[in-house]
């Protein structure tokens, strides 16, 4: 059963998308930045506050803390033990649910595996959510809420979420920095980043269709040492080191002999 009174704490990227997805299911939004809390609440037609002390007066059935990982311990301690032992969850992929013990003995996790920016649309129904709780009843409640947002809900304990988060860093953050490097290289010839968009899209599609190992091509996959060395020599030292490291990984992964 979905909890009746749900309070969301946070106004950042993840919180903004959660608020949009949950809408009127939320009883209130609370954020330390009153202006941001006001804007987010008005956008979704619900009350707001800049003071976490109101949570005690609301007496929520569920409290969702969607804030930066490094702020979770201090914010949880500041809220303090709430009456009525509400179910308290966070949205982090790296923090154990026990960080919330200072608020309630009933704790859990509602973790969306996605990259979020406030003004960039995300189809929340396609975002996989990973949940955890100490009791089957609380887990069922978190799952029920997650299924109102997404069509994909799985369970994941702290160790599993760490693996998911690492995979997310490789899938998103590292891809972004590689594309930034690509943009720098293309810029030297006055070409825009969009030049490689068809290539990137075809690469991702093929990787998911055939598997990334089978989809691999290029000089490292062929063991073409001459081309690899030429490319590295043409790059600044820091980018050349990245090129070398990735090429060596491909060579080792495919057990290629250099020619």
Question: Is residue 33 predicted with pLDDT exceeding 90?
Answer: no
Q: In sequence order, what DSSP letters do the residues of 100-141 get, joined into one string?
A: GTTT-S-EEEEEE-S---TTS---GGGS-EEEEESSHHHHHH
Q: Model pTM? A: 0.92
In whole angstroms, what is the distance from residue 155 CA to residue 142 CA? 10
Q: What is the mean pLDDT of residues 55-76?
A: 96
pLDDT band of residue 259 (cuts 50, 70, 90) is confident
Cα distances (Å, whole numbers) of residue 11 to 28, 64, 177 = 12, 12, 26
| Average pLDDT over the chain, rounded to an integer | 96
Q: What is the mean pLDDT of residues 53-79?
A: 95
In whole angstroms, what is the distance from residue 219 CA to residue 222 CA? 5
Instruction: Give the number of other Cβ atoms within 10 Å of residue 201's Cβ.
Output: 10
Encode burial over 93-125: b for 16+ CB neighbours within 10 A, e otherwise. bebbbebbebbbebbbbbbbbbbbeeeeebebe
pLDDT at site 114: 97
pLDDT at site 82: 96
pLDDT in tens, 157-172: 999 999 999 999 999 9
pLDDT in tens, 99-140: 999 999 999 999 999 999 988 999 999 999 999 999 999 999
Report which of 4, 57, 31 is spatially closest to residue 40, judged by C-alpha positions.
Answer: 31
Domains, the chain, with CATH or none: 6-156 (3.40.50.720)
Q: What is the mean pLDDT of residues 33-62?
A: 90
């Amino acid at each position: 059963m979905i909890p009746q009174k749900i309070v969301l704490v946070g106004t950042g990227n993840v919180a903004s998308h959660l608020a949009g997805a949950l809408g009127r299911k939320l009883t209130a939004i609370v954020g330390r930045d009153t202006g941001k809390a006001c804007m987010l609440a008005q956008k979704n037609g619900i009350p707001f506050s800049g003071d976490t002390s109101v949570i005690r007066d609301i007496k929520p059935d569920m409290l969702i803390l969607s804030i930066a990982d490094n702020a979770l311990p201090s914010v949880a301690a500041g809220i303090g033990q709430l009456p009525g032992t509400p179910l308290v969850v966070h949205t982090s992929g790296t923090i154990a649910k026990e960080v919330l013990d200072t608020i309630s003995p009933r704790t859990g996790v509602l973790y969306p595996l996605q990259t979020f920016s406030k003004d960039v649309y995300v189809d929340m129904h396609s975002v996989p959510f990973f949940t955890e709780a100490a009791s089957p009843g609380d887990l069922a409640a978190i799952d029920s809420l997650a299924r109102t947002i997404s069509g994909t809900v799985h369970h994941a304990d702290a160790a599993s979420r760490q693996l998911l988060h690492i995979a997310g860093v490789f899938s998103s953050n590292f891809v972004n920095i590689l594309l930034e490097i690509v943009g720098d290289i293309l810029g030297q010839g006055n070409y825009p980043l969009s030049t490689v968009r068809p290539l990137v899209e075809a690469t991702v599609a093929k990787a998911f269709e055939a598997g990334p190992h089978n989809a691999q091509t290029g000089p490292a996959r062929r063991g073409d040492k001459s081309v690899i060395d030429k490319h590295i020599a043409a790059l600044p030292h820091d980018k050349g080191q990245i090129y070398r490291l990735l090429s060596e990984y491909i060579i080792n992964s495919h057990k290629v002999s250099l020619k």
